[in-house]
Structure 1
Amino acid sequence: MSLSRRHLFTLSGGIAATAGLAACGSNTGRTDTAAPAASSAAAALPSVSVWYHKYGEDGVEQALKKWAAEYTKAKVSVNWVAADYEKTAAAALLTSSGPDVFEWGTGPSLDMIQAKQVVDVTDIVGAAKADFTPTVMKRLTFQDKIWAVPQTVDMHLLYYRKSLLTKAGLQPPKTIDELIAAANALKTKDMGGFFAGNDGGLGVLGSFIIWAAGLEQISADGKSAGFNTGALYDAVAKFKTLFDAPGMLKSASTDWYDATPFINGETAMQWAGLWDMTKVQAAHQDDFGVIPFPAIGSGGRQVVPFGAYSACVSAKAKDVDAAKAYVKAIWVDDDAKQIEFSNAFGTHIPAKPKLFAQASKVASGAGADAAKFVTDFGHIDDILWTPASGTAYSTALSNVVKSGKDAQTEFTAAADKVAAELKRVTG
């Protein structure tokens, strides 16, 4: 898996916030991987450059270039950015040589929209909006306008070995107390009980605690933090118990985003990504299952975080209409390509639920469970949840879990920073 995949769930910073991190010199990382040489008639067609991050799954690059070459209404070039996609794209979008169409995790950020770096694509989505997963479209919509088109859905989930839980007389955990008990019961001298990263899960699981406790990142009126309550303090205390549990594996051969520790028996349970399900299935056949992150507290709920790499049209596109037409053709109108993307390269969920039955890897078994989790338990970062807000929250969480500081003091300070950030971005 490309490291960029894990950014799918952490890209709320957007281009306006990250542009300063990238050098804005003449080398933007752009390559001109164009369709084959065209006739003189075709030479009059508009040009559209499309950028993608490097997917880890075999065949994705070839398919996207093939689709570009087959498109007849424009000369489409594909740039496959092998490293530092976000920084490279951020810098390039500030220049006249940047992409016309580019993908971005969970769509553009509020900063990107307000900086007018992307254009409204409501018109090309049209009535097809009803075909897409509602929670995905909610994230891509701001002020009643749609700012990107989802390409495919990825998600996190918890893998477990069925036989090991059965041998221990346990059911798949639905609450954090059950997860703690299972992790400790399944631990052996050679195998951890639960793995969620070499930092004990602080990085990947931290923000999910809010949702698992039954809370939201941002208040309903969009003016304050939605997490600063006693329910969160209690939930973090439970998470600390998990963090400190004997069954929590904190050192593995890879980090959480690669399911190798689960595949090779380093751990009985692992928090990982849907993208590795094909490899997990090859290793364990039917001896694995998937579940959401467990609920925490009396008002808690099971949750799965998900994201959707989405096609955005740059406001600096050479021909905005041509760029929008290409996005519409590939990601709105052509269901066959979306099914191919889900079936042929790793495991992905179509952005349109009506296509689930035709996407073989999520039509049955654990894949079907995962697809249903997105509908039943899916959560995605609020568009108002900026990097500054995320940093304030994660700092407070680390201070409480690792340093033993007072939860109310730490999260109240974080909530104050979130409120200030909300005031900044909403005026």
Structure 2
Amino acid sequence: MGRNKPPPLFFSSRRFAVGSAASAAVLAACGSAPGTTTGGASAPATTGNAIELSHWYHQYGEEGTQQAAIRYAEEYSKIKPNVKVTVEWTPGDYGAKLNAALLTPEGPDVFEFSGPILDLVNAGQVADLTDIYGDARSDFNEIGLQANTVGDRLYGVKMIDDMGLLYYRKSLLEPAGIAPPTTLDELGAAIQALNTGQTKGFFMGNDGGVGVMGDMLLWSSGHEYLKDNKPDFNSDATVAAFKKGQEFLAANSGAILSGAPTDWWDPSAFTQNLTAMQWTGLWAMPGIRDAIGDDFGVMPWPAIGAGEGRPATFWGGWSQYANAKRPNVEAAKEYIKWLWIDNTDIQKDWSLAYGFHVPPRKSAAASAEPLKTGPAAEAVTILNQYGRPLFPNWTGAMGTAWGDAVNNILKNNADPKAELDAAAQKVQAELDKQA
């Protein structure tokens, strides 16, 4: 997850094919820098009823993150001399190690996770953190809170927020008289006009955009994966959106780049003039600015049509949880509150000093200098207005059903209604099991 690395949880049509028991591949998506598991948070000598907390992180690829995590833990131990926080930095398959550890009494006291949490909640594995939010809850976007909400209770606290953006080269659009597109048809017209011999009009992945488009077609139609605990992705509007998506891919196949040296999460195709427009993430913005200066703008995925649906982007990121089966749950909750709710300076440092993300507290994002102006400020607005979150009760089986349907529709040109209806039946069967 370095300067041009994928986000903590990068979204595609198959990203929800990951449940609590099978989350290793997604959880490990950021691990890229070499390293070893490290316990490093020292603290002053303690007396009396000393408390030791273990705090687990996956290995971030962003330089300086491990040292920052250890520094935060040391700061807390200075404030709370009877609490020693030990940071464990986990390279490789963090998801598999975490899943195994949570089945034992020796698991972490505090850990980060990025996936559906219903299984963890039902197993009594994560503590209820609703009470530690207090008045600060109103400073978190309610949409962003959904990923950690089961029933009316909050079980996690966001560390960072991530999102996707459609980047465009201003120097190419403006001379051609092309405004940033607001509908899928306008996007098609723009990429056709921008398509030249060596520079394609648009890049959204080496699969031709199938992975990215599934989620975006759903959300830009104005619908969700679930609504009132029932599938919402097979509505008439979503079926129509997928039909339009098929038409979009067929009509613009010659203007859409595929086979780029790197995939959609890396901006190299955009910065190397292989494409005039690209779907990638906020995390890529510093690298884009380094390469092409201010010659870019950003926008959300456009609405499906004029007066239809809404613009969209994904709302990803990592959250912190307290292990309910460890002996010092209240101490763990107090530590999480200090680190990820009360301490906005640390939240800004973690989000922006080593990579490029949005601090989850609205006040922290608003006061962060790198996010106050230009495309970065626009990105924060896009996230808050159009971001769509992870559903905590979405399971691996549901994700497989959805992903198979999207692949068949967009790659194999299957009938959208038949595919989405079949997927909805499978998802409803899984939801019925949760009742």
Q: TM-score, normalised by structure 1?
A: 0.91
Superposed, which structure 2 residues align to 1:168-187 within 5 Å? 168-187=176-195
Instruction: Give the Cα–Cα distance (whole angstroms) in 1 for the partners of residues 121 and 17 of structure 2.
Output: 12
Shift in Å, 1:162? 0.7
Instruction: Give the Cα–Cα distance (whole angstroms) in 1 for the partners of residues 302 and 376 of structure 2.
Output: 19
Q: 1:89 to 1:126 in 2, by over 3 A?
A: same
Whether contact under 8 Å (1:49, 1:77) holds in the other structure is: yes
Instruction: Give the Cα–Cα distance (whole angstroms) in 2 for the partners of residues 21 and 378 of structure 1.
Output: 20
- Structure 1 counterpart of 2:240, one-letter code: D
- Structure 1 counterpart of 2:362, one-letter code: P
1:104 to 102, 113, 116: 113
The one-character-per-residue Cα deviations of 1:354-376 (angstroms, maximum 9, x if unpaired) are 22232112111000000011111
Runs (4+) of structure 1 exceeding 3 A deviation are 8-14, 16-22, 29-32
State whether structure 2 residue 268 is matched by structure 1 residue 266: no
Q: Which has the higher contact order (CA 8 A, sep 6+)?
A: 2
Whether contact under 8 Å (2:206, 2:258) holds in the other structure is: yes
SS of the residue corresponding to residue 384 of structure 1 reads coil
Shift in Å, 1:17? 4.8
2:58 to 53, 57, 75: 53
The one-character-per-residue Cα deviations of 1:5-48 (angstroms, maximum 9, x if unpaired) are 353543673424558999xxxxxx99451323642x35852111
Whether contact under 8 Å (2:51, 2:328) holds in the other structure is: yes
- Structure 1 counterpart of 2:126, one-letter code: V
Partner of 1:117: 125
Partner of 1:153: 161
Superposed, which structure 2 residues align to 1:397-408 within 5 Å? 397-408=406-417
1:296 to 287, 290, 304: 304
Q: 1:279 to 1:287 in 2, by over 3 A?
A: same
Partner of 2:7: 5
- Structure 1 counterpart of 2:198, one-letter code: D
Whether contact under 8 Å (2:129, 2:154) holds in the other structure is: yes
Superposed, which structure 2 residues align to 1:407-426 within 5 Å? 407-425=416-434
Superposed, which structure 2 residues align to 1:335-346 within 5 Å? 335-346=344-355
Whether contact under 8 Å (1:6, 1:257) holds in the other structure is: no
Shift in Å, 1:102? 0.9
SS of the residue corresponding to residue 162 of structure 2 reads strand
| Higher alpha-carbon deviation: 304-313 or 314-323 | 314-323
State whether structure 2 residue 282 is matched by structure 1 residue 281: no
Identity of aligned residues (%): 42
Structure 1 runs not aligned, ≥5 long: 23-28
Whether contact under 8 Å (1:52, 1:103) holds in the other structure is: yes
Partner of 2:224: 216
Shift in Å, 1:158? 0.9
Whether contact under 8 Å (2:206, 2:264) holds in the other structure is: yes
State whether structure 2 residue 67 is matched by structure 1 residue 62: yes
State whether structure 2 residue 203 is matched by structure 1 residue 198: no
Instruction: Give the Cα–Cα distance (whole angstroms) in 2 for the partners of residues 252 and 378 of structure 1.
Output: 27
Q: 1:4 to 1:273 in 2, by over 3 A?
A: closer
The one-character-per-residue Cα deviations of 1:269-320 (angstroms, maximum 9, x if unpaired) are 1111111111111112111011000111352110111123110111232411
Whether contact under 8 Å (1:11, 1:105) holds in the other structure is: no
Whether contact under 8 Å (1:218, 1:384) holds in the other structure is: no
Q: 1:295 to 1:419 in 2, by over 3 A?
A: same
Whether contact under 8 Å (1:159, 1:291) holds in the other structure is: yes
Instruction: Give the Cα–Cα distance (whole angstroms) in 1 for the partners of residues 248 and 109 of structure 2.
Output: 46
Instruction: Give the Cα–Cα distance (whole angstroms) in 2 for the partners of residues 242 and 30 of structure 1.
Output: 46
Instruction: Give the Cα–Cα distance (whole angstroms) in 2 for the partners of residues 390 and 147 of structure 1.
Output: 22
SS of the residue corresponding to residue 242 of structure 1 reads helix
Q: 1:364 to 1:267 in 2, by over 3 A?
A: same
SS of the residue corresponding to residue 349 of structure 1 reads coil
| Higher alpha-carbon deviation: 210-219 or 29-38 | 29-38
CA-based RMSD: 2.3
State whether structure 2 residue 332 is matched by structure 1 residue 323: yes
State whether structure 2 residue 92 is matched by structure 1 residue 90: no
Partner of 2:365: 356
Shift in Å, 1:138? 2.7
Structure 2 runs not aligned, ≥5 long: 28-34
Whether contact under 8 Å (2:231, 2:424) holds in the other structure is: yes
Whether contact under 8 Å (2:166, 2:279) holds in the other structure is: yes
- Structure 1 counterpart of 2:64, one-letter code: G
Shift in Å, 1:229? 2.5
Instruction: Give the Cα–Cα distance (whole angstroms) in 2 for the partners of residues 68 and 186 of structure 1.
Output: 50
- Structure 1 counterpart of 2:268, one-letter code: T
Instruction: Give the Cα–Cα distance (whole angstroms) in 1 for the partners of residues 424 and 16 of structure 2.
Output: 20
